[in-house]
Amino acid sequence: MYRSLRPALPLVSALLLACSIENPLGTVTDPAASDTDPGTTDADTDTTAEEPTTGAPASACGDGVVAWQHDEGGEGSNVSAHAVAVDGAGRIVVLAAAEFEPMVLVLDPEGTEVWRTKLSGEPVDIRDLVVDEAGRIFVGGEEWATGQSTAAMLRAFSPDGEELWSFSEPGPAPADAAAIAGLALGQGALFSAGTTGTGALVVRRHDPATGEAAWETNHSESIEQVSEPAIAVVGDRLLVVARAMLSEQIYYRPLVLQLDGDGVIESVAVDDQIVGFWRDVEPIGAGEWILAGELLGDLDVTESVAIKRAGPDGEAWSTVFAGNDILEYVSDVAVAPDERVLVVGKTGTDDFLKEIPSVRCMNGDGGGLWQETFEFNDNAQFQTESANGGAFGPGFMVVVGDTRSGPHSEMWVRKYTLDCSTSSSVSRTRIRAHQRTRFKRP
């Protein structure tokens, strides 16, 4: 995931928004962002809160100010955040790794730690996290056995951190590899989407109480390779998106697989006219969905991020975020009950030397764009920071990510307060100052 990315242009002036139903690369506008005094930050503080930032409400997400920031790791350590969800009590559930040991961390709405627990058993790589209405936490990834063999892995935890059950299914021969990359809840079940070393896409329906798979559907026809699938429950159907490589081609293409609730494949679509892929899919409204992915340019390099709202009647709107000599990546998409859409990822320079987080929020109709303002560190030779997951809670949204400096990494969790013009918060410019202070190379 981490691509060492140039000292560079200010992000706000470089990011472009294009939106048109007929042509996603239609009208271009330049989102604006306000600036305030950068102030100072305390490099040793775990959870920070600063004096209020005031200003006019900013589109879909109000001011989008940071209520608090929780940090772990940094110099001499390796801590990273992979995914985040919010439970029914408004608690923030983070899937993370400390010194390469996966863990689940739960923070209360004020940023205070409630509990944390490591994943037991065989070494695992973590990929996704969801929380159901009962507060049960489900983690998906891959489990390493002997040698290079891996198994598709699921773990479940109670709201108090007790491990409830584990699911493991080895990959088929001859590759002996399997993983779960995406999770979704709905229809009274837990669904997973994963891959095998033989190039198949695997979708399963699990019993949330035991992890047992009620059915398993494999798809490998007409594709040479598939990777990084995501899954969503949309009404009575399932949608799985991924990057697929067709047997006669060398570039990845966007794949959309639709199944019914019993795992029967209803349709498979691979757009062989687009060089790129879908990264995530989430339900929105009554039977529609949001797709988010990346479009590739020359040399298989990501040049822009595409967001689309679609449904049984076709596409409603699409938007492309593109940079001027700046690369764009998307990691995660979240949709709020009021249909606000959160898109997180990272943006980088065209010489691959620097990358910074990308956090955007918009309305369900594709308008009202708000984005967090981050800046490249002009004093650092390299800069590697990304936003890896996002979620909505009651009156807020939360984003998790990590910053790498040489061999070290630091995890951060940022809670954004929505729809308030005055609030105790860390301003957007303060976040930039925080980055410059803590992650600057000598």
**Spatial strand order in the sheet of 124-131:** 124-131, 137-144, 150-157, 163-170
Which tokens is 161 given?
């951190």
pLDDT score, position 75: 78
Question: What pTM was computed for the model?
Answer: 0.82
Which tokens is 45 given?
């503080």
Give the span between the Cα atoms of 69 and 372, in whole angstroms: 14
pLDDT score, position 271: 77
pLDDT score, position 349: 83
> Which regions of the chain are under pLDDT 70?
1-58, 146-147, 248-249, 273, 298-301, 323-325, 420-442
Total residue length of the chain: 442
Q: Is the peptide bond before 57 cis (omega within 30 degrees of 0)?
A: no
Asked if 222 and 255 touch (Cβ cutoff 8 Å), the reply is: no
Q: Which helix (H) or strand (E) holds 435?
A: helix 428-438
pLDDT tens digits, one per residue of 307-322: 999 999 999 999 998 7
pLDDT score, position 218: 94
pLDDT tens digits, one per residue of 143-184: 987 667 899 999 999 999 999 999 999 988 888 899 999 999
Asked if 183 and 128 touch (Cβ cutoff 8 Å), the reply is: yes
Mean pLDDT (the chain) is 80
Give the span between the Cα atoms of 67 and 361, in whole angstroms: 16
